[in-house]
Amino acid sequence: MELILGIESSCDETGVALYHTERGLLAHVLHSQIAMHNEYGGVVPELASRDHVRYVLPLIREVAAQADCQLADIDAIAYTQGPGLSGALLVGAGVACSLAYSLNIPALGIHHLEGHLLSPLLSKPAPDFPFIALLVSGGHTQLMRVDGVGRYTLLGETLDDAAGEAFDKSAKLLGLNYPGGAELSQLAKRGTSGRFKFPRPMLHSGDLNFSFSGLKTAVLTASKQNALDEQTRADIACAAQEAIVDVLATKAMTALKQSGLKQLVVAGGVGANQLLRKQLSTSAKNIGCQVFYPDLEFCTDNGAMIAFAGALRLQQQDAKRDYRFNVKPRWDLQELNLE
Ligand code: KG4
Ligand code: ZN
């Protein structure tokens, strides 16, 4: 029976949570920096680090108050060790390791993507191992086979832009705010399907890799060749969304068929996209498979997934009381399997 504090600070969200191995998630809080980065059209790493510094301690106090816990009740601290922005990661790692040192409890460095891959188990209904995970965020687009904690196989990934990046870059070209995925999908609702048709790169490549960088060129060309009135913007948004969703859904189905697994889990911010959800659910049903959509608050970056991954890791490995830390801005998830 253990209480784990989780700290996520890999990019533009400070997330803190308390997870109890018997009582489940006790509380989780989040501070998003989106509004701050919006005026720059993307994440500014230095501003991100400073904002994590500003929020991480107040959020730890807040989560403890919400869960009615004292710092002394905590048995271990899990933090995102990578991948992500180095300055941002260092804030979470520094706070986690010094707090753990002062409380004389273990500190655990967690792989951000492991957090995402295990996060579906926080929602109900939860999938059982093994399952296929489609990880679609602003930074990642991957298809993984998840056989258990620490047993991950990369099946395919993007060779260039992430799916969320493709949404965001298309949105920017259409004059929408950053990050533009959600706004683009709103605009697309008023669009006429079929007026524009954008390429679906690697749809028939035979593997499970993706490529999205060509899409922004297609969107740029369409926006230059046409007067950008409201209807045309909506029609372009509609075509861009259809192209991204089509590729994601087709490859996810191929992964299910090739692996013979029956469960697909969608994680990451793009998992909020309604068209993607509709297309995945319909296609999966046709081949006798089930799709799990974790609650949106666990799909996007959050502290709960880090606390939870920390709890599962604690059951597996001896927790060391070693408070020296390094962060891993680049970190291949497959390395975890070997450790
Ligand atoms: O997982 P996430 O919150 O953060 C990381 O990138 O780690 O994902 C953010 C991404 C952004 O690119 C955002 O535009 C996209 O998710 N997104 C969406 C939608 N909501 C968020 N993309 C398409 N449709 C949406 N409804
Ligand atoms: Zn993430």
Q: In what order do the strands lie in the sheet with 76-82?
A: 24-32, 13-20, 3-8, 76-82, 107-111
In whole angstroms, what is the distance from residue 60 CA to residue 43 CA? 23
209 lies in the same domain as 264: yes
Residue numbers of the chain with a pLDDT score lower than 50: none
User: Does residue 138's CB lie within 6 angstroms of at least one atom of ligand 1?
Assistant: yes
Task: Give pLDDT tens digits for 184-221.
Answer: 999 999 999 999 999 999 999 999 999 999 999 999 99
150 lies in the same domain as 199: yes
Task: Give pLDDT tens digits for 253-311.
Answer: 999 999 999 999 999 999 999 999 999 999 999 999 999 998 989 989 999 999 999 99
Query: pLDDT at position 91, please?
Result: 98
**Cα–Cα nearest to 168, from 221, 244, 101:** 244
67 lies in the same domain as 202: no
135 lies in the same domain as 86: no
244 lies in the same domain as 324: no
Pairing of strands 13-20, 131-136: unpaired
DSSP string, 148-217: ETTEEEEEEEBSSS-HHHHHHHHHHHTTPPSS-HHHHHHHHTTSPTTSS----TTTTSSSS-B--HHHHH
Examine residue 122 and state whether it is found in any structural domain, yes or no.
no
What are 292's two structure tokens? 């799990």
Query: pLDDT at position 9, please?
Result: 98
172 lies in the same domain as 248: yes
Q: In what order do the strands lie in the sheet with 141-148?
A: 151-157, 141-148, 131-136, 263-267, 290-292
316 lies in the same domain as 288: no
Query: pLDDT at position 339, please?
Result: 53
Instruction: Count CB neighbours of 189 within 10 A.
Output: 12
CA of 126 to the centre of ligand 1 (A): 22
Residue-range definition of the domain harbouring residue 35: 3-117+298-338
User: Does residue 115's CB lie within 6 angstroms of at least one atom of ligand 1?
Assistant: no
CA of 138 to the centre of ligand 1 (A): 6
167 lies in the same domain as 260: yes
DSSP string, 114-157: HHHHHGGGGSSSPPPSSEEEEEESSS-EEEEEEEETTEEEEEEE
User: Does residue 33's CB lie within 6 angstroms of at least one atom of ligand 1?
Assistant: no
- pTM as predicted: 0.93
How many domains does the chain divide into?
2
Instruction: Count CB neighbours of 305 within 10 A.
Output: 36
Domain edge (last residue) among 256, 275, 293: 293
Q: Are 207 and 254 in contact (CB under 8 A)?
A: no
284 lies in the same domain as 306: no
CA of 164 to the centre of ligand 1 (A): 5
85 lies in the same domain as 162: no
Examine residue 173 and state whether it is found in any structural domain, yes or no.
yes
In whole angstroms, what is the distance from residue 241 CA to residue 193 CA? 10
Q: Which helix (H) or strand (E) is 7 found in, with range? A: strand 3-8
Examine residue 228 and state whether it is found in any structural domain, yes or no.
yes
Examine residue 65 and state whether it is found in any structural domain, yes or no.
yes
User: Does residue 327's CB lie within 6 angstroms of at least one atom of ligand 1?
Assistant: no
CA of 11 to the centre of ligand 2 (A): 8
281 lies in the same domain as 320: no
**Cα–Cα nearest to 19, from 80, 83, 73:** 73
Query: pLDDT at position 48, please?
Result: 97
Q: Which residue out of 14, 33, 270 has the highest number of ligand 1 atoms within 8 Å of its CB and is therefore the one to mutate?
A: 270
Measure Cα distances from 165 to 42, 171, 273 in Å: 10, 9, 14
Q: Which ligand is the nearest neighbour of the Cα of 37?
A: 1
131 lies in the same domain as 205: yes
CATH number (domain holding residue 178): 3.30.420.40
User: Does residue 270's CB lie within 6 angstroms of at least one atom of ligand 1?
Assistant: yes
Q: What angle do CA 146, 284, 205 make, to 5 degrees?
A: 75
What are 339's two structure tokens? 């450790």
Examine residue 259 and state whether it is found in any structural domain, yes or no.
yes
Pairing of strands 76-82, 141-148: unpaired
Examine residue 35 and state whether it is found in any structural domain, yes or no.
yes
Examine residue 249 and state whether it is found in any structural domain, yes or no.
yes
User: Does residue 164's CB lie within 6 angstroms of at least one atom of ligand 1?
Assistant: yes
Examine residue 189 and state whether it is found in any structural domain, yes or no.
yes
Measure Cα distances from 187 to 86, 177, 181 in Å: 35, 12, 10
Query: pLDDT at position 1, please?
Result: 87
In whole angstroms, what is the distance from residue 271 CA to residue 58 CA? 29
Measure Cα distances from 184 to 167, 199, 214 in Å: 7, 18, 18
